[in-house]
Structure formats: structure tokens, C-alpha cells
Structure 1
Amino acid sequence: MTRIGFIGPGTMGRPMVANLVAAGHQVRCHARSAGARERVASTGASVVATTAEAVEGAEVVITMVPAGPDVLEIVTGSDGFLPVLPAGTLLIDCSTIAPEEARQVHAAAAGRGVRCLDAPVSGGEAGAVEGTLSIMVGGAAEDVAAAREVLGAMGSTVVHVGGPGAGQVVKSANQIVVAGNLQVLAEAMVFLRAHGADLEAALDVLGGGLAGSTALTRKRTALLTEQYSPGFRVALHDKDLGIITAAARAAGVALPVTALLAQLLAALVARGDGDLDHSALAKLAAELNRPA
């Protein structure tokens, strides 16, 4: 049993907490909203009122919050918890943030003798519920080894991808691939509907060939029903593509298709669809092809 402080038990974080509890770990959680606190209480984790209470006595602290500024605020901000962590505590940030922000967290943690990993996850809400997340981990090899049991309770694929910030670099690449996959699936659905194809049969055969993907499997129902209940919100994927656009510019590389994907996601947010699942790229594609 490991004593874990978990901050940010939202859509993804709550099932991650549930799997940590099911694996026998003692988890103490803090969430900003009353709704999130109420939902995570059903996992068997302890729910506390502040981040300081969540991390008190913890051997491992996990953060899973929406964006880089949130991570920096709760870890290194004026009321951040980093100063109260004893040396040797393992801090694992599972949020998706900019690589440079992750390196800032690593540097601040190292300055206090706290071990740190950036360990963003992929797999959506379904993967979080099933405990089959893919976790890409940046940091020191010995710290990754120390975290494997905890990370293994949340994900079935845990890979050390490099030093500080490397997990976030790989997560950015993941988000490019996912967005691209969803957009081409969206366009394929427009094409299939335009020709009156049997959609169920078409997706069966596409899924069985080279066009098959986890995105197709996970988002099949949404694509067929055109109902986009959030598993991973458009607004978060839009935020991720913003990170990627800035990081690509900083690296001096051109990613023209990624730039288009960023604009499509931004368009969904601008039109008020930011709280839909990111498979709602299919909604935008369909509406672009409907008469005014």
C-alpha cells in the first residue's frame, strides 16, 4: 500500500483514483468543485478540503488538472504544496501541459529534493475507467522504476520516453495523431453518408483493415449516432493543439496539417461546442456539407 495524494479527480482523474484504491493504495483527494468532490468520494478515497491536506504524509503525489498554469499554481505558486513535501517524495504530474512547463516543475521539485515525473496519459475516459491508459513518462530512470506499481494501477502501457519534459513531448505527438485520426474519420463519415452507404457495415470493414484504429473503436458509437457526450472535451484538445503549435514554432518546424487541425478544433470552441467530445469534429464536418 502506498500513501497517495491525488489532486484533480475530474473526468479522467476520478476513474484513475478508483483504480488506485482498487489496487490497495491509500488515496487522499482534493478537487476544486463540490461536484468533483462528491463524485470521487464514491471511489473509497478520502476527500479533503485543501491541496495541503491531500499531500500531507503522502509518499506519492499525483496531479491531474486541465492546463499548465493550473499545475504551476498548485505546485509552485504562492499557495503551492511543493514547500511542504519532504525530500524524496515522488511527484507525478499526469496533466497534459507544455514541455517547458513540465521542465519548470521538474526544476522546482529538484531544488527541494523532491523526485518528479511528467507522466501524461492517453486513452480517454474509457481507458481511465478500464485502467488501460497509455502513460508516457519523462524523468529519471530510477524514479520511473519507483513509480511503476502506482502507474501500473492506472495504465496498461507505461513507457519511459526520456528525461524531464519528454513525456509531454510524446503526449503532444499523441494529440496530433488523435486529432488527425478523428478528422479523417469525420470526413469518411461525410463521404459514406453522401453515397448512402451502410454505415455499420462500412465501419466494420474499415475497422478490420489498415484503416482500423483505437479512435475508430472508441468513437464508433458517437460517429454513428452523432451524439458527442464528452469523454475528452473539445476544449481540452484545443488547448493541447495550442501547446503543440507554440512548441513547433519554438523548435522551428512546420506542421501544416496540425495547424489545420488546430483551426478546426478552435472553430468548434468558438461556436460553443467546447464541452462536447472531441469526436465532434464529425459534427463540424457534417455541418460544412449541409445546405444553408
Structure 2
Amino acid sequence: MKPGPVGMVGVGNIGLPILRNLLEGGYEVVAFRRTNRECIVSAGAVAAESCAEVSSRCEVIFTVLPGFDALRSVVFAVNGLVKNAREGQILVELSTLGIADKVAIRDELASRGTVMLDGAISATPNMVVAKRGAMFVSGGERECHNLLPILRAILPSVYYMGGFGNAQRIKLCANHLVSVNLSAAAECLALGRKLGIPSKNLVDALVNSGGGSVQLTARAQRMIDGEWSPAMGTNSGLKKDIDLIQEIAREIQCPVPLLTAAARMYGDAIEKGLGDADVASIYEVVSERAGVPPRRS
């Protein structure tokens, strides 16, 4: 399916590599970002002046946004996507949000003929660049199937999860693992350093051990070095997702004690002023308590 220009709203840490992968896949991209639109042009895409312009030019649009208020503004503001919403247009919403919030937007758009699909990306920005990781989609099966060529231009591994909202549900499950994994990595690195293992040996051995993981590989050295910027994902952003997971877990009466323990680390990092720092910075909280703070050049 080559539908003409593909729309993008939200060109940040994840959105920019998505945009580049679409361009590499042979798609023209029309994108909107409120600030620093130069990154859109330098990537080879068209920088739109508004969300309404994206909607007017594109039949398929992706949104990757930080929260529900941002999504609602992008869709329903004066120059929002809804200004040129029409029958047959498809919005693939990739943000990590509450399912009820996504349903509310979907239902409002449906009255104008626009189909909204629920989507999610489970990958670090560098993984998206390398076309590794997973994309989850849910909602209309026919629309998801028709979009597979576009979706696979972003990431080859695309999973249709069924009814609308299931992409969010599996993304929250994945982020449960990310949250616990990162907190365990921080704790383990502090333990290893406290035991006197040289930092380089510690990182190399653990990354290649049976306890290795995507998150350990991506962030172990950053933890040791105290490298919190640039942020691939922030403590505030992950804590938002943890709150969503805990809310759903309470609703269905599913205990999540490991996540509850990890949540305290991210909360402590935010209180320490590390809300906008990379999630690797939870190591600062853990390691300082252990008496082995990050080394900094």
C-alpha cells in the first residue's frame, strides 16, 4: 500500500527514527512538530505548518505524543487534525496512554469517518534506528492488515493484538518488564562495584551473561559513567507508564510487588531532580545508598 504522503505528528526521540525509517522505506512524509522543525527538513521530510496541514495532505497519519492532553490538542485544537478529518482517513496512535483516553478520541473521530488504530512501539530509539524491537497494533483488523507495508517500513516485527486497546495492554506489560529490569540492573551494578569488581569487567561480563538484557546492554555503561543525557527515555515518562500499569493491575486485582518496589526508585529519582534525565539515572539513587556513586569524567 503506497497511499501518498504519510503524516507524522510528534517527532521526538521515537518519532524521529520512525520518520526516517518511513523515508528509507520509500514513503514521502509530511510531519509537524511545534519546535525545532529543522530536524524534519534535514531528515528529508516535509515540515507542515500545522496539524491541520498534515491532515489535509495525508490519508494515513501517525501520532507519537507524551500524554493525553497533547493528543487531544493535536486532534481537536483549532488547527488540529480534525479540521480536515474525512471518511477513510486512518490515524495510528502510538503514544502510551490510558486505554479509556484512546477510546474517547477514537469514538470522536469515528463520527467524522476517521478510523483510529491503537498502536505502540516497544524499543529504544537506537533499536528503532536499527529496525529492531516490536510494534503492536490493535483495532480494525482490515485496516491493520492494509497498513502492514507501512508498519513494516518502521519495524519489521509487527504484531496484530486484536481488539482496540490490546496494543496498549501489551505495551504496558512490556514496560513492566523494562521498569523492573532497569531497577534490577542498577541494583546489580551497585552490588558488583561494592564487591570490588572492576567496572569494565562488571559491565562486559553481565551484558554477555545469562542475566543480560536489552536494557542492561543499552544502559549499563551509562549507569556506571553517570551519563544521564541525552535521554532515550526519562524517569518521568516511565513513571507515568508505571502509574498506568499499577492502575490497571488494581482494577483487575493482579498483584505486582516487583513493579511496586521498582516504582519507588523512579519516584526517588524524580524527587532528586532527575525527572527529565535518562532512566539510567536511577543508578544514582541506588548506588549512592550503597556508597558507590557513578564515576563522572
Q: How far apart are the structure 2 equivalents of 1:79 and 1:242?
A: 31
Contact 2:50 2:79 in 1 (8 A): no
Name the amino acid aligned to 2:58.
A
Q: Secondary structure in 2 aligned to 1:240?
A: helix
Contact 1:268 1:281 in 2 (8 A): yes
Name the amino acid aligned to 1:265.
Y
Question: Partner residue of 1:201?
Answer: 201
Q: How far apart are the structure 2 equivalents of 1:195 and 1:185?
A: 15
Name the amino acid aligned to 1:28.
V
In the TM superposition, residue 251 of structure 1 has moved relative to its aligned partner by 2.7
Question: Partner residue of 1:288?
Answer: 289
Question: Partner residue of 1:4?
Answer: 6
Q: How far apart are the structure 1 equivalents of 2:40 and 2:69?
A: 23
Question: Partner residue of 2:64?
Answer: 64
Q: Secondary structure in 2 aligned to 1:159?
A: strand
> Which residues of structure 2 form unaligned runs of 5+?
none
Name the amino acid aligned to 2:287.
A
Contact 1:106 1:164 in 2 (8 A): no
Range that drifts further, 9-18 or 78-87: 78-87
Is 1:47 aligned to residue 47 of structure 2? yes
Q: Secondary structure in 2 aligned to 1:24?
A: coil
Question: Partner residue of 2:22?
Answer: 20
Contact 1:109 1:116 in 2 (8 A): yes
Q: Secondary structure in 2 aligned to 1:162?
A: coil
Q: How far apart are the structure 1 equivalents of 2:119 and 2:56?
A: 22
Question: Partner residue of 1:166?
Answer: 166
**TM-score scaled to structure 2, two decimals?**
0.91
Contact 1:135 1:158 in 2 (8 A): yes
Distance verdict in 2 for CA 1:77–1:225, change over 3 Å: same
Identity of matched residues, %:
24
Question: Partner residue of 1:253?
Answer: 254
Range that drifts further, 250-259 or 131-140: 250-259
Range that drifts further, 126-135 or 141-150: 126-135
Range that drifts further, 171-180 or 144-153: 144-153
Contact 2:54 2:81 in 1 (8 A): no
Q: Secondary structure in 1 aligned to 2:191?
A: helix
Write out aligned runs for 1:236-275 (5 A).
236-275=237-276
Range that drifts further, 134-143 or 164-173: 134-143
> Which residues of structure 1 form unaligned runs of 5+?
none
Give the number of aligned pairs.
290
Q: How far apart are the structure 1 equivalents of 2:261 and 2:24?
A: 42
In the TM superposition, residue 168 of structure 1 has moved relative to its aligned partner by 0.7
